[in-house]
Amino acid sequence: MKLEEKTISSQMIHKGKVVNLRVDSVELPNGNFSTREVVEHSGAVAVVPVTSSGEVIMVRQYRHPVGKILLEIPAGKLDPGESPDECVKRELLEETGMVAGRLKKLFSCYSSPGFSDEILHIYLADELYYQGQQLDEDEFVQVKKVPLKEAVTKICSGEIEDAKSIAGILAAVNNLC
């Protein structure tokens, strides 16, 4: 079965701060035509930082799109020209103040491939030492340490509701990848 679609034309609707939105016309495998909305994103990293006593260093932050404070693993967008390896060190330091003696890439994944090209590079960090949180003036993030096993419980209880955090924590707790 042929699955691929062919792009016929593309219209940029919005060029924004974090995302762009374009609407493409595509030809389907059966020759019919349809439109696809694409939210363009520069990509991001996220990291599961695990302390020597088995705690995950997480961050609480207000997420305007969902209108509430979420408990997440540290994460952030790639700067232009920045590699995921550089970005993850920067974000870990900025948000939690930690430097990782060891940093391991777990996997990369698409957050919402039905409507966005956002790719997330997920890491595991350990052998951590504290150097000092470096938040921007307009960044509001609260660090919270959660024992790894308790983090797993918080996924089922609904206290951790962020998809990348769930995927990263479950990969870390299983010593995957």
Annotated catalytic residues are: 137
From the list 18-26, 48-56, 82-90, 92-100, the region that binds a second copy by CB under 8 A is: 18-26
The DSSP 8-state label assigned to residue 75 in this structure reads E
- Main-chain dihedrals φ then ψ at residue 18, nearest 5 degrees: -105, -35
- d(C-alpha 91, C-alpha 88), whole Å: 5
Q: Segment 121-140, which members bind a second copy (CB under 8 A)?
A: 137-138, 140
DSSP for 63-77, written as a single string = EGGGTEEEEE--EEE
Residues 32-91 close enough to bind a second copy by CB under 8 A: 32, 34-39, 41, 44, 60-67, 69-70, 72, 77
DSSP assignment letter at 95? H
* Contacts to a second copy from residues 143-162, by CB under 8 A: 152, 155-156, 158, 161-162
Q: Does 112 bind a second copy (CB under 8 A)?
A: yes
Residue 9 or 52: which CB sits closer to a second copy?
9
8 Å CB contact between 46 and 122: yes
